[in-house]
Chain A
């Protein structure tokens, strides 16, 4: 995330009176506010665990089968125009307004990047269910669940995957949930979970250091 680098450069040129400690502290507060705002505007981003890559230009995952997958680094930035206003009008509230604008842009570009990354990965693995323009249905959802690998917690419980949908599709899913077919769907889903659990157990059974 590029937020940590915003305006952290030291003031080392000729300058008018300054309070570097105050400016630095306000910078930290601003960056923390932006991060919080980004998470509230794009909740999916907040659910993804983050880690910092201190060195290196990219990060790769090399899977068990030897296939390597690169996760390219992306820089996200936000551009805003800060108006020159009478000094009495440039208040903390005005600053919050600009921070919100910055967070909006970050949330948008980071969400977009996340979806593109997932989409690329799905395309590569063939894990794509094409609805061909049809409205979302139980069958499509089950087909999607069938295609993904599902892991279980150590206590055997299941962490349901997140589904990213448009507001219209969300309404449609809510409607489906109240439909008479919902009970049948739930039964099919329970069966699918059991199949997935069996697959998971097989995978886990292979987790041995032989020899």
Chain B
């Protein structure tokens, strides 16, 4: 490791983790080392004494049990107390589904983040002698203690440890956060750029492999304050941002595979959030507060939007959910889409993503009706009395500052940035409606829509993968007067190439979640590419409008 500060950070992090807390990081460490994770019990109780089942880089089957000894030592009496669990680890075979051949034996590994006392090691050695007996499903017992883990974490984090003072400061700042707030996407992107970096033409394939795996590992360590606060939404945010950031390295199926292995971490955070919302009886239809409704009045609708964004991610990821979760998700999505919750253009990409998800769960016309409502609301608000919906570069808290006359929210330049008659996403929504053959709606809204100046960014796709604002590309403003229905539909179905490499199609749900988090990256071709992959529409490239003479 290049920096003693970094070494201290890894030590400080490792010494504070319980076994459940450092399990995700262990998984990423193993992935970074070339292991294949077959199973982990992050969301369920300990299964047969095995928290993780994996294959090492040589193909050896390994069953791992984690033990948390944050800042302490694994004593002899603790080792003796673990005897029943260790016996299970040794003697109960891993499920057949993970075996390459019947009776395949595994290596049993006990992992602890504490120091292992010599007497404890002797205890484990004694227990480990059972692996010589035929009854044992394991052929070997290993113990990985604090020193082993630190060396391995340091070795991998070294690939992504920032070299300049700003990067080190950012990493330390993130490590010291209290985990209560949400993540600032611009700040976090800066952290990733300074630590992981962006690939150049000179970056070779092994370097790219190392960067991707280490970035995902770094992410798990940076998440520590939010894990501690069990702030599932922020964990979801960080995971999406890292996953998308790594996509810029994914010009090979191997690296794409590593990024895909992170998917279950993302859906895990989403399901944790949904589970917590259900436990707390979060109600999407009614006023709901964590503690004080009178103080949380300003954020109630926004909280609903964020919970619904997570629900949308689960729907679009197609991960398996039970009936109760499904009902919760449908209700939350349905109640989150009405246009009353739109505080600015920054909320529109999220609305579109929730619309896609809702359309997947509700076969009626209601989702389309809600999208039509959003279109009318947006163009009318843009043409209406100020304040008009601010541009997607402003966050909820900045917009709140505008609407409250500076009483509340986050101060910024928003007061000096007029958005009257300027819209970023009304064209996008119009395209979605056109592809769904809402011809009369498009015609009706055209008179107002065509009086608005339409703004979009023309920017290289390399900037898509993070939220850092760059002085590259150009902002294009387009006045509109008249058009033709067929031309409109053709624009909508042909403008769907954002420049992503082949193989990104199954990343659609993550990219959709990302544009909800970073709305100014919801470029028209990105949204239409997502629409093509996620949604079925009346018109598409295979079914263009018929040209009438």
Contact = CB atoms under 8 A, between A and B. Distances in A.
A87 B287 contact: yes
B37 to A, nearest CB: 27
A1 to B, nearest CB: 18
B180 A16 contact: no
Interface SS of chain B: helix
Given A16-B276, A17-B303, A19-B181, A84 B287 contact: yes
Interface stretch (B41-49, B130-138, B160-168, B229-237): B229-237
B180 A29 contact: no
B295 A30 contact: yes
B407 A91 contact: no
Interface stretch (B278-286, B349-357, B382-390): B278-286
Q: Give the size category of B's interface with A.
A: 35 or more
Contacts of A162: none
Interface in A42-64: none
Contacts of B276: 14, 16
Contact of A16 (B307, B397, B407): B307
A68 interface: no
Contact of B293 (A16, A19, A25, A82): A82
B303 A22 contact: no
A22 B307 CA distance: 18
Contacts of A86: 285-287
B287 A30 contact: no
Interface in B285-312: 285-288, 290-304, 306-307
Contact of B294 (A14, A17, A30, A89): A30
A15 B229 contact: yes
B273 interface: yes
Contacts of B300: 87, 90
B181 A25 contact: no
B241 interface: no
Contacts of A22: 298-299, 397, 400, 408-409
B287 A90 contact: yes
Given A84-B287, A85-B286, A87-B300, A19 B397 contact: yes
A88 interface: yes
Interface in B208-256: 229-231, 233-234
Contacts of A89: 287
A5 B400 CA distance: 25
A184 B293 CA distance: 59
Q: Which of B233, B292, B300 has the most CB of A within 10 A?
A: B292
A90 B400 CA distance: 17
B410 interface: yes
Interface centre among B280, B295, B407 (most CB of A within 10 A): B295
Contacts, number: 118
B231 A15 contact: yes
A57 B215 CA distance: 55
B38 interface: no
B293 to A, nearest CB: 5
Contact of B287 (A12, A20, A85): A85
A29 B400 CA distance: 14
A19 B299 contact: yes
B340 interface: yes
Interface residues of A, number: 35
B182 interface: yes
A95 B294 CA distance: 6
B295 A7 contact: yes
B518 to A, nearest CB: 16
- Choose among A22, A90, A92 the residue with the greatest number of B CB atoms under 10 Å from its CB: A22
A110 interface: no
Contact of A26 (B231, B273, B298, B303): B298
Contacts of A25: 407-409
A26 B295 contact: yes
Nearest to B299: A19
A87 B180 contact: no
Most central of A12, A14, A91, A98 by chain B CB within 10 Å? A14
B296 A16 contact: no
B424 interface: no
A27 B292 contact: yes
Contacts of A18: 180-182, 290, 299, 303
Interface string B261-284: 000000000000100110010111
A99 to B, nearest CB: 7
Interface in A1-42: 7, 9-12, 14-27, 29-30
B297 A90 contact: yes
Nearest to A84: B286
Interface in B156-187: 180-182
Contacts of A7: 291-292, 294-295
B282 A16 contact: yes
A90 B287 CA distance: 6
Given A11-B290, A15-B229, A87-B304, A29 B407 contact: yes
Nearest to B310: A17
Nearest to B292: A7
B514 interface: no
B431 interface: no
Contacts of B287: 82, 84-87, 89-90
Nearest to B290: A15
A82 B294 contact: yes
A15 B180 contact: yes
Given A11-B290, A18-B180, 20 more contacts: A12-B180, A15-B229, A16-B306, A16-B307, A17-B303, A18-B182, A19-B298, A19-B396, A21-B181, A22-B298, A22-B397, A23-B292, A23-B295, A26-B294, A82-B294, A87-B286, A87-B288, A87-B300, A90-B297, A95-B294
17 contacts: A7-B292, A10-B180, A11-B291, A12-B180, A17-B302, A18-B182, A19-B298, A19-B299, A24-B295, A25-B409, A26-B294, A26-B298, A27-B292, A87-B287, A87-B335, A89-B287, A91-B297
